[in-house]
């Protein structure tokens, strides 16, 4: 786990990082996920949104979106499963 992560027995919440972009484009920016969230966005819009989410963690206040991971069976980091704000 990294600095600033939040963890429970089952989940790890981590601030977003630039390396999340391919996962966001492939997994989160789909019609199934985005149909109730204003629809699928362009790659540039997803990249801009990720940059804003990363910058939000440097700001003293405001809305933050965490990347959510399931823990594996041994308590380590398992599969990335979503985002939460």
Q: What is the domain extent for residue 80?
A: 6-84
- Has residue 1 been placed in a domain? no
- 23 occurs within a structural domain: yes
pLDDT tens figures, 32-69 = 988 988 889 999 999 999 999 999 988 888 889 999 99
Please tell me the pTM assigned to this model: 0.81
User: Does a structural domain hold residue 67?
Assistant: yes
* HSE-up (13 A, CA, CB side) for residue 32: 4
Query: In the β-sheet with 77-84, what is the strand arrangement from edge to edge?
Result: 6-7, 11-14, 66-71, 77-84
- Is 28 part of any domain? yes
Distance between CA atoms of 3 and 34, rounded to whole angstroms? 30
Asked whether residue 51 is domain-assigned, the answer is: yes
Number of domains in the chain: 1
Query: Nearest-5° angle of CA 36, CA 64, CA 70?
Result: 75
């Amino acid at each position: 786990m990294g600095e600033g992560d939040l963890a429970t027995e089952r989940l790890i919440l981590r601030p977003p990082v630039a390396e999340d972009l391919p996962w966001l484009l492939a997994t989160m920016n789909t019609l199934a996920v985005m149909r109730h969230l204003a629809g699928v966005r362009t790659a540039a819009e997803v990249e801009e949104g990720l940059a804003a989410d990363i910058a939000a963690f440097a700001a003293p206040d405001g809305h933050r979106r965490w990347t959510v991971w399931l823990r594996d069976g041994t308590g380590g980091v398992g599969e990335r499963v979503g985002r939460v704000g």
